[in-house]
Amino acid sequence: MAENETAMSGQRGGGRIPVVPGFARRTVDGSPKEDGKALRMRVPRASHDSLVLAVERPDAVRAVEESSRGRVPELTPIRVGRMTASPFAFLRGAAGLMAHDLMGTPLTGVGAQICGDAHAANFGLYGDARGRLVIDLNDFDETVVGPWEWDVKRLATSLVLAGRQAGADEDTCREAAFDTVGAYRRTMRLLARLSVLDAWNAIADEELVSHTDARDLIGTLERVAEKARNNTSARFAAKATEEGPGGIRRFVDAPPVLRRVADAEAAAVASALGGYLGTLPEDRLPLLARYAIHDVAFRLVGTGSVGTRSYVVLLLDHRSEPLVLQVKEARASALAPYLPAVGFDVPPVGHEGRRVVLGQKRMQVVSDNLLGWAEVDGRPFQVRQFRNRKGSVDPAALEPGQLDDYGRMTGALLARAHAHSVDPRLIAGYCGKNEEFDEAVAAFAVTYADRTEVDHGDLVAAVKDGRIAAEVGV
């Protein structure tokens, strides 16, 4: 009898259950929050206002040239032209330069899966598997495990630059940065108070506006959502394809944005999709097995990615209804060279497309259900749906009164994304209740926005002097 009582007691107390790798240790204390608070002694929150540029910092032209290596040479002038459009556009194409500058800023040493390019234009709407719209971060080309502060500072800086481009005064721009960081901090505190499951799925999109007090954005978001609902593969295919010989649909040349490719290049891309299927969950395979591949074309992509190899692939089902996939080259993260200097190891990636896809899945609440990766002629690519009801707010076109609302919304979304890979109690413990961290990062954002304007001016001058080629307006 005593032996049975001992066994039952051991089961109730959990003493007979070992600690299993991959799971947390059994504990009821709040140590992550206390650990976060302790970090303030080593890295004061007020210190995040500092920016000390390295003596060997590359100038704007050199930075752009270095980041263009390995891209399609004839497309790099288009990338330069897009970066000259405004300081905000320059920032969008200069993730590597900003990472170089962030190396000298204060860091807690806490790592998270970060976007790496968390500027204000990299948030948007897209459709889930049932066509319902969700809003989240939507660009992960640079994603890595790195300092969470880098994403926060890049986002805050982008709000200042977007506001200046929109014609907002300096107080409004700085307030937008301040509110962005404040929303990030408050959202982390909210997530830290919830159970793990509730925190993981928190801030449903229908609650996002009220959570961030972004009511001035309602009309804008509704207009973007209405447009996004019509932004589908079917609509794109109707405009970008025609019926060719034998009734086969094919893409129509519209250079430089869309152009047909040689048969051998098209065949290589199509063949690579066989390997892509092996990166998908098995339950997706019967879906794609009902589509036939009809055509492949090269399609130009946005500011930071211009010059990378990117294709659209037209698939049709038995009713000739289209599904368009994007097969986009995945280069090494622009942040990777700078992480070892701040104490973050960069393990061998193996496949850059896999890095992008897994990073995206770690950060988003809902991801494209056809995300995968492939290899074309030895180069890594990511594969995703093209035009799956995507829509976005142009932060540089917002009314000044909407800028802080948009900042709060994106700050909350960034916190939610980070909380999937780092315990929100740790970040919440560090950021705390008061606005010290918000003030410091907002000050940094204004300073770095000023620096970006200088860099942009240098690039514009270099284009005028003929030191670097640019194709403007494409």
Instruction: Please state the domain extents for the chain.
Output: 31-229+400-464
**Each residue of 9-58: pLDDT tens digit?**
444 445 688 888 888 877 655 589 999 999 999 999 999 999 999 999 99
Query: Mean pLDDT, to the nearest integer, of 99-117?
Result: 97
Instruction: Characterize 309-323 residue by residue with b for buried, 16 or more Cβ atoms within 10 angstroms of its Cβ, and e for exposed.
Output: bbbbbbbbeeeeebb
Cβ neighbours around 469 below 10 Å, total: 12
- Are the C-beta atoms of residues 151 and 415 closer than 8 Å to each other? no
**What is the β-pairing status of strands 322-329 and 123-127?**
unpaired
Give burial (CB, 10 Å; 0-12/13-18/19+) of 215: exposed
Match 């000044």 to its residue by tokens.
400
Alpha-carbon distance of 413 to 426, in angstroms, equals: 18
Instruction: Characterize 171-196 residue by residue with b for buried, 16 or more Cβ atoms within 10 angstroms of its Cβ, and e for exposed.
Output: ebbbbbbbbbbbbbbbbbbbbbeeee
Query: Mean pLDDT, to the nearest integer, of 353-378?
Result: 96
**Does residue 7 surpass a pLDDT of 90?**
no
pLDDT at 25: 79
Write down the mean pLDDT value for the chain. Answer: 93
**Each residue of 230-255: pLDDT tens digit?**
999 999 999 999 988 877 899 999 99
Residue length, the chain? Answer: 474
Alpha-carbon distance of 428 to 189, in angstroms, equals: 5
pLDDT at 23: 87
pLDDT at 28: 59
| 3-class state of residue 290 by DSSP | coil
pLDDT at 3: 43
Angle at 166 between CA 162 and CA 167, to 5 degrees: 120
pTM of the model: 0.94
**Each residue of 376-393: pLDDT tens digit?**
999 999 999 998 899 999
**Does residue 473 surpass a pLDDT of 50?**
yes
- Cα–Cα distance list, 75 to 37, 70, 256, 397 (Å): 48, 11, 9, 27
